[in-house]
Chain A
């Protein structure tokens, strides 16, 4: 047996590797996995991966790519090497996430009502009221229990110094949770022996928790919940259908709903049926052609009026976008201190706001080192990654930036931790991030782990699925507790 073939390759200098420590020795929570990996041949792993691909394609876990004709359905590559997080580390992350999302919900309630944080002078008023994402319609509108962001996907990365940083709070329609669930299902099917060695904390109850969260969003007993999708040509349609089925709620499109007497109904084979909670998976701009975009074919005329009267609950609320805007992001730690009187547990990435002349000057002088992002951008589009861009690209971006500085923020290029990944060259380090999903119901809950995205191209820092990214199963494991990896391993080999 050639143990060398699947020995994880070392990470580039300055990069924190999730599996290997500075001396290239597997970390404690990866030790059992490393042993197991050494017992596998590259052919066996390749066979497992082929099996996974086949099953994913057959089940139709695909995503659509914008602007591609014809073969619009692609698989998101799912790597067969898990990303493992030690339980104590996870528990700290979890506390930080709950704290952060709680503060953000307090912030949203505040800016649509008393605006105390503006009065306190902690955020410049024009940053809020002149923001495209500030929903005037929500001023003074009550939402049940002041929860605005019910489902939050927080993007977290680990820097070379080993600590976690929040990159982005996705408060509108965060997606990807279906990949988290499918990856787990696939890994359990492909590697049952690994799950006997490790006590991996389960994630399969996410749909049940989500349903609980959505039901709790309404103030009535037994509300009727629906999932509103833009339709089957949307890139995340698989996820919409999957979650609706798992929760046992109707998957509706705009045309299935109508508003009568300021209440929302769906058209069924048995006549109209009242709807109480809408889990919307489309942008707020498309929800109601009467209130927002008149060209929207996806929404429901009159929905916003019904919503403002409290006759239907929309999750996430209209107007959450103002809090995950990159121009507001720098203020989140301040929100934690202001609303909760606590020190933030999770760190923000240092951010320069190009609308400030001093910051802009600093950014322009260091374009080749920084990452510059559009304030409203998403999906890895419209950004500059200084260190991997050519001189010409940097100069072109410089002109765009100078023409409209208010539209950009800049951050240092984070190293992004690496995780061993099964690729052409063997088990090699690839950069990853983490998106845990936070559910805010009567309590705030998070299934352990989340979605790990991986940049499959060597050296790439862009993990977005639309740009060559893949995913990994994410394990939160207890180390040194009651789990006895060695004992279990012996038992399973002996069986």
Chain B
């Protein structure tokens, strides 16, 4: 398979997953902002911190309100990871390789783009729950169509790699920010904690899973345990890395020794590690190291298969 095609497929799915994650972050952010009342700049800034865009947002001169933050993250053409930019980048990558994906996949992603264009007509640019649901649904739909129509071959594996590297990055970021904030506000009342933690869980579709597994009050350490180590939860770090390693194993082995070694190393920590190890180094430090490794792995995958040598 062409290296360039591999790269387009990988980024097509990374951008789509990124758009979905942004919608998840904003959706939960919006309901939390309602809870904490107007004027809470810290709550408003949370989505910016998670997505590393606090400074860039400041440079726009827009007031720090949940509404403006949501507009910036969802619709701003100047923000490279805004939902609109991600969906466009995803579709552009798909367009470049429409011969390598099934026509159902192409038609779906093209249709998403057409619907998006309709939504922004006349400057409407909605940032409500209905819009975020739509983004999530389109992403789910594409994944489902991919799963149901494409051969289990290299294109599929690069698409899956993109999805799970991006998702792991997102879950780690959400966990790390919420956790830092929690620590900074230690001694806050229990009710706020409850809403914060359930917001974390909801943003990664894991509130029901938490209830099923623990059948108990929501506790920060258990949330971390679930989202880091649980092998059965589709958005946990462990689950993501099972997928990353599995898909890497299906690809040509020779060019990717470095990538496979790094992926195996990360998976080993997730497979055999325990919560005590994490809190031993500190959750923040653990997540920071994970994020760095995850980025390095992304670079190693690109170097192995996608770069023009």
Q: Which of B96, B305, B306, B308 has the most CB of A within 10 A?
A: B96
B36 in the interface, Cβ–Cβ < 8 Å? Answer: no
| Given A232-B96, A271-B254: A58 in contact with B110 (beta carbons within 8 A) | yes
Residues on A with beta carbons closer than 8 Å to the beta carbon of B309: 267
Question: Quick check: A268 and B111 within 8 Å, CB to CB?
Answer: no
Residues on B with beta carbons closer than 8 Å to the beta carbon of A268: 1-3
From A241, A253, A269, contact of B251 by CB (8 A): A269
| Given A253-B4, A267-B2, A269-B3: A241 in contact with B255 (beta carbons within 8 A) | no
From B92, B99, B251, contact of A251 by CB (8 A): B99
Residues on B with beta carbons closer than 8 Å to the beta carbon of A204: none
B11 in the interface, Cβ–Cβ < 8 Å? Answer: no
Where chain A touches its partner, the secondary structure class is mixed
Closest chain A residue to B7, Cβ basis:
A269
Residues on B with beta carbons closer than 8 Å to the beta carbon of A244: 99
From B4, B103, B111, B114, contact of A267 by CB (8 A): B4
A222 to B291, CA, bound (A): 47
A57 in the interface, Cβ–Cβ < 8 Å? Answer: yes
Residues of A within 8 A of B (CB): 57-60, 231-232, 241-242, 244-245, 250-253, 255-256, 266-271
List 6 A-B residue pairs with CB atoms under 8 Å apart, sorted by A's residue number: A245-B98, A267-B4, A267-B308, A269-B255, A269-B305, A269-B306
B39 in the interface, Cβ–Cβ < 8 Å? Answer: no
B106 in the interface, Cβ–Cβ < 8 Å? Answer: yes
Q: Mark B248-281, 1 if CB is under 8 A from A, else 0.
A: 0001101100000000000000000000000000
Question: Quick check: A269 and B6 within 8 Å, CB to CB?
Answer: yes
Q: Beyond A232-B96, A268-B1, list 10 extra A-B contacts (CB 8 Å).
A: A57-B114, A59-B103, A59-B107, A60-B110, A232-B95, A245-B99, A250-B2, A267-B2, A269-B252, A270-B1
Q: Mark B1-42, 1 if CB is under 8 A from A, else 0.
A: 111111000000000000000000000000000000000000
B79 in the interface, Cβ–Cβ < 8 Å? Answer: no
Residues on A with beta carbons closer than 8 Å to the beta carbon of B76: none
Where chain B touches its partner, the secondary structure class is helix
| Given A57-B114, A58-B110, A271-B255: A266 in contact with B2 (beta carbons within 8 A) | yes
Residues on A with beta carbons closer than 8 Å to the beta carbon of B293: none
Residues on A with beta carbons closer than 8 Å to the beta carbon of B182: none
B65 in the interface, Cβ–Cβ < 8 Å? Answer: no
Q: What's the least CB distance linking B101 to chain A, in Å?
A: 10
Question: Quick check: B4 and A256 within 8 Å, CB to CB?
Answer: yes
Q: Mark B269-309, 1 if CB is under 8 A from A, else 0.
A: 00000000000000000000000000000000000011011
Residues on B with beta carbons closer than 8 Å to the beta carbon of A267: 2-4, 308-309
Residues on B with beta carbons closer than 8 Å to the beta carbon of A252: 2
Question: Quick check: A255 and B99 within 8 Å, CB to CB?
Answer: no
Closest chain A residue to B113, Cβ basis:
A60
Question: Quick check: B110 and A255 within 8 Å, CB to CB?
Answer: no
Q: Mark B107-131, 1 if CB is under 8 A from A, else 0.
A: 1001100100000000000000000
Closest chain A residue to B256, Cβ basis:
A269
B154 in the interface, Cβ–Cβ < 8 Å? Answer: yes
Question: Quick check: B99 and A241 within 8 Å, CB to CB?
Answer: yes
Q: What's the least CB distance linking A70 to chain B, in Å?
A: 11
Q: Which of A57, A270, A271 has the most CB of B within 10 A?
A: A270
A57 to B106, CA, bound (A): 12
Residues on B with beta carbons closer than 8 Å to the beta carbon of A241: 98-99
Q: 7 closest pairs, A vs B, by CB?
A: A245-B99, A270-B252, A269-B305, A267-B3, A241-B99, A269-B1, A244-B99
Q: What's the least CB distance linking A63 to chain B, in Å?
A: 13
Q: What's the least CB distance linking B254 to chain A, in Å?
A: 7
Q: What's the least CB distance linking B163 to chain A, in Å?
A: 18
Q: Which of B2, B251, B252 has the most CB of A within 10 A?
A: B2
Q: What's the least CB distance linking B49 to chain A, in Å?
A: 34
Closest chain A residue to B117, Cβ basis:
A71
Q: What's the least CB distance linking B61 to chain A, in Å?
A: 27
Q: Which B residues, 230 to 257, have Cβ-Cβ distances below 8 Å to chain A?
A: 251-252, 254-255
Q: What's the least CB distance linking B10 to chain A, in Å?
A: 11
